[in-house]
Amino acid sequence: MAEARAIMVRTGPRLWLSGSWLILMALAAIFAPVIVPHDPLAQDLMLGKLPPAWISGSEPGYLLGTDSLGRDVLSRLISAARPAFIVAIGAGLAACLLGSALGLLSGFFGGWTDRVISRIVDIWMAFPPVLLSILLVAFFNPSLTSVILAIAIIDWTRFCRVVRAETMQQRRMDYVESARAMGLSRMATLLKEVLPNVLPAITVLLSLEMGIAVIVEAILSYVNLSVSTDQATWGSMIAEGRGIIYQAWWVLLFPMIALFLTVLAFSQFGEGLKERFDPVLR
Amino acid sequence: MTAPYLTIASLSVALKQGGRLLRSVSLTVHPGEVHALVGESGAGKSMIARAVFGILPRAVDVVEGHVMLAGQDLARLPEGARRLYIGKRAAFIPQDPLTALNPAKRIEQQICDRLIHILGMKKAEARARALALLAEVKIAEPERVMRLYPHELSGGMRQRVLIASAFSAEPRLIVADEPTTALDVTVQKQILGLIADMQARHGTGLLFITHNLGVVAKLCQSATVLYAGKVVEQAPVTELFARPEHAYTRALMAATPRYDRPEDSLKPASPELIAELAREVALTDAAWARRPAHG
Amino acid sequence: MGRNLLIRLGSTVVTLFGVALIVFILVRVVPGNPIAMMLPPGASDADIALLTAHYGLDKPIMTQFWIWLGRALQGDFGTSISLRQDVMGLIFGRLPATLELATLALVIAVALGGSLAVIAARYRGTAAETGIDLFNGASLAMPDFLWGLTLILLLGVAFPVFAISGRVSPTLDLNFVSGFYLIESILRLRFDIFLDLMRHMLMPALALALPLAAVIAQLLKTSLKEAMQQDYVMLARTKGFSETRVLLSEALRNAVIPTLTLAGVQFTFLIGGTVIVERLFSYEGLGNMAIDAVINRDLPLIQGIVLVFAALFVIINLLVDLSYALLNPRLRHG
């Protein structure tokens, strides 16, 4: 027990708290079908718009109330963690890989590579991101895959800029020169020597991006452009809740809280990692 | 004998976490007197300057003693009143003219701000005073310089501006913290001469912080020698040079290059001296630690 | 500096050209046939072919692009497929609403973020600073979307102070000449309209402003604290100035400069955010129209709107760079 506490203190409360929430959400995502109290898709119009358990008029068993179709809010909330996480990990990694690769190349090789890539980044960043994602998903037929692709296509520039800056900084350092002097090819130097030093910045950004991906998915769901109607997502729950806000505010509130805590956890986790990396490397 | 303008009495200052930076320092500066504060880097000279103006760093506390300016114990005044009191009577000439000027403000503003807001002068009056002082510090085209930003001036000119600003409020005391150290050697002599002239003309008391004994000999009437935050010797300048009592003072003088002595006659401090000094400091600290706790 | 400006302008034009090209290709390469969507089901192939030719969609993509570009440079952005009106007319009809919203949000963000930063820097080490830091930490994770929803719940439902949809009450009759309702209501001294507009606009503006305010607060606070460590601040204290005065008079103008550039980039995100926030609040602005355009596959309208947004982004970046050069005395004199 004391050992566990020691680990907690060492890693910092920020990392521990946010990490716990993320693990909780991940578990919800994985085990959703097993742990939900009710079938998230089961409709019962007799039980529509029931308030949460602590308010009068509620039904036992429906802890957070029901929506207008009588579906249990808690069950839908839990099962919505799955699409959220799939998008977070999928889009986050995709944007990370694409952006980091281009950033590394651009920062390390300079010259025309850098100029072309930077120009593309400039053009890309002139697009309004949300509008562009709506555009892409609408045209590619809404599905989780198209959402992941859309986010990756739009947000890679975030990684590219930061990774490029970090790479350029690393490139000036002595170990790069010595690696080249030892006969390593430029690509090998980039991958074996520079990349590990840029990795901390990439990791921090990845965590941030995952939080952003969850939000974008929610926005797309809100605009009716994410997964098809069967699977519950926090965004579609919010869309429905917004419509019946005066009659059943809980349908809006709980997915909002889930969304907020998840995004906060991702960004705090990234911040915590940044804190951890700095003193260790120094 | 007139009353001293600045009195520092048994001032001890320490880090909040422990470790004394000033050890019972006492010195006085009389009206119109030029008093040197001598010591090597880290001896605590700048800390004394900060204590006079009440701007000690956050990590540092006054643990003993007091500072009196024109008969007023500064600790008895609340923060805002204290700053005003000091601002009207004393001025500071800092060491590094580059960082001591606000890069985003014109020279005119930086000289006149005190005159207008602390001394309550009208804008036109303040401006005239500033121009007069810029001329006094031998800046050509004062009108043009007033409109400039600090980065457009040379190091020597910036220091002149700071000197002008210090004298502009007609303070009775100026604290100059090694005002020539950050300047080119060629400019140093001019600036020193300028400060000496202005001090004589305005009759201002001057606490001159330096590690250069030549300056002490030429400019100052009395001197305090500081080592590790402790006063090791204090005397009128003529006596100090004629009959230095403390071994450290003698070592300082021996280490000063002079044009009439061969260079290899320079002697660094001997190990015995250093050990002796360390012992003195330790004794002072031990005595201080043993003092009864104040109720 | 004049030469630099020309280079920047040239770069801007290239960027906008790139944007136009990419969006043009994007909307045409993807599946989904807007023509088919426009016609009733069961329309004959001949009808479809006729309409396709009418919109020039049967030609090769690059040809279409050059035709479009040629017309665009003369100000003709075509006709909206879904709304059957001139695209530029539609855009300029909605643009003032979005601009007003974004500007209001900017003003709020600067005022709020700036005050928080100044208070936190002035009272550093106290509970005030810690409180502001905590608030900032949480706010930085809240995107405008979530803020909008929170505000709707709090100030629209729980304590109904504001209106949660629309730009202005339909009961009020406005015969305004411009689309800038807020400005015109003040100029015409119609304060009842002004208040009604504010009742509708404050929440979306806040939703947009709060993320930016958090960024400004954090950046400015850091810059202020750094500036307060400088020697010129110490000198100002010796002159007799109070801590508050020193903060505002000496440190602030130096701290604003680095904050400005970073905040300027964030402002472009704010503009992008109008898309979803307007939708959330059913605010009749450009962003809201954009979403409908996408859902309706309205190619000319989509192109026009995306280009206008991109132009806004680019102009703002240019303005930020310009103001940085103006504010920094070191750059002004070359």
* Nearest residue in C to A141, CA atom: C31
CB neighbours of residue C211 within 10 Å: 24
**Rounded to 5 degrees, what angle do the CA atoms A122, A124, A128 make?**
115
Is pLDDT of B38 > 70?
yes
B96: chain C residues, CB-CB within 8 Å: 231
| Spans of chain A below 70 pLDDT | 1-11, 226-229, 278-282
Restricting to C residues 143-162, those with a Cβ less than 8 Å away from any Cβ of A are: 143, 145-146, 149-150, 152-153, 156-157
C238 touches chain B (CB under 8 A): yes
Regarding predicted confidence, which is higher, B152 or C125? B152
Q: What is the pLDDT of residue B44?
A: 85
Residue A231, classified by CB atoms within 10 Å of its CB into exposed (0-12), middle (13-18) or buried (19+), is middle
Cα end-to-end span (Å), chain A: 31
**Rounded to 5 degrees, what angle do the CA atoms A60, A61, A62 make?**
95
* Segment C120-134, tens digit of pLDDT: 999 988 888 888 888
Asked if C73 and C263 count as a contact pair (C-beta separation under 8 A), the reply is: no
Annotate C217-229 with three-state secondary structure: HHHHHHHHHHHHC
Q: Which of B85, B100, B103 sits opposite C254 (nearest CB)?
A: B103
State the nearest Cα–Cα gap between A191 and chain C, in angstroms: 31
B87: chain C residues, CB-CB within 8 Å: 238-241
The per-residue DSSP string of B20-65 comes to: EEEEEEEEEE-TT-EEEEE--TTSSHHHHHHHHHT---TTEEEEEE
pLDDT > 90 fraction of chain C, expressed in percent and rounded: 31
Q: Is B205 helix (H, G, I), strand (E, B) or coil?
A: strand
- Residue B210 phi, psi (nearest 5): -160, 160
Question: What is the Cα Rg of chain A in Å?
Answer: 22
Sign for the CA dihedral angle at C268, C270, C276, C279 comes to negative
* Segment C277-318, tens digit of pLDDT: 999 999 999 999 999 988 888 888 888 898 899 889 888 888
- Per the DSSP assignment, residues forming a β-bridge with B285 are none
Is pLDDT of B60 > 80?
yes
The token pair at C314 is 């680019």
Q: What is the pLDDT of residue B262?
A: 61
Q: Are 3 or more Cβ–Cβ pairs between A and C shorter than 8 Å? A: yes
- Could you tell me if the ipTM is greater than 0.90? no
Among B67-76, B222-231, B251-260, C184-193, which is the least confidently predicted range?
B251-260
What are the residues whose beta carbons fall under 8 Å from the beta carbon of C326, sequence distance 6 or more?
C332
Residue B196, classified by CB atoms within 10 Å of its CB into exposed (0-12), middle (13-18) or buried (19+), is middle
The token pair at B155 is 């190091």
- Residue B173 phi, psi (nearest 5): -140, 135
What is the mean pLDDT of the segment spanning B138-146? Answer: 92
Q: Which amino acid is at A153?
A: I
State the nearest Cα–Cα gap between B118 and chain C, in angstroms: 7
Residue B65, classified by CB atoms within 10 Å of its CB into exposed (0-12), middle (13-18) or buried (19+), is middle
If phi > 0 it is left, if psi is from -120 to 50 it is alpha, else beta; for residue B10 that is: left
What are the residues whose beta carbons fall under 8 Å from the beta carbon of B152, sequence distance 6 or more?
C333
* CA A121/CA B90 separation, integer angstroms: 57
Is pLDDT of B83 > 60?
yes
Q: Which domains does chain B have, with CATH numbers?
A: 6-289 (3.40.50.300)
Going by pLDDT thresholds of 50, 70 and 90, the confidence category of residue C33 is low
* CA C190/CA C182 separation, integer angstroms: 10
Residue C28, classified by CB atoms within 10 Å of its CB into exposed (0-12), middle (13-18) or buried (19+), is middle
* Segment A39-95, tens digit of pLDDT: 878 887 777 778 887 877 777 778 888 888 888 888 899 999 999 999 999 999 999
Asked if B3 and B32 count as a contact pair (C-beta separation under 8 A), the reply is: no
The token pair at C261 is 């550039």
Q: What is the pLDDT of residue A38?
A: 81
Q: Which domains does chain A have, with CATH numbers?
A: 26-32+43-277 (1.10.3720.10)
Pairing of strands B222-227, B34-38: parallel
C142: chain A residues, CB-CB within 8 Å: 260, 263-264
Q: What is the pLDDT of residue B295?
A: 40
Going by pLDDT thresholds of 50, 70 and 90, the confidence category of residue C118 is very high
C246: chain B residues, CB-CB within 8 Å: none
State the nearest Cα–Cα gap between A273 and chain C, in angstroms: 15
